[in-house]
Amino acid sequence: MSEEVKEILPEELEKDIENGSKYTVIDVREDEEVATGMVPGAKHIALQTIPDRLNELSKDNEYVMVCRSGRRSHNACMFLNERGYKTVNLKGGMLEWTGEKVF
């Protein structure tokens, strides 16, 4: 059974962060991509390293997954959802992010 991946719009996430986010943001891009800036407060876990780093994630938290365009983060959401994690995909990824970026 494949459940749909929930999505959040960049504006919604930005507002959520301003209000003290309930989400933990995970950036699944490669090192050279995150060097161009990340969502404030995001944790970097490159997509291919997620299976080895599950111990860093809690099933009690809800995660917003971020990549460049939203495709890799969608895959990360599906992978994590199948293992009992709560995830939301950032729709459009960093291409659509207009908020502050941290380096």
Residue holding tokens 């407060």? 41
CA–chain centroid gap for 100, Å, is 16
Phi, psi values for residue 36, rounded to 5°: -85, 0
What are the catalytic residues? 67
Cβ atoms of 80 and 57 within 8 Å: the answer is: yes
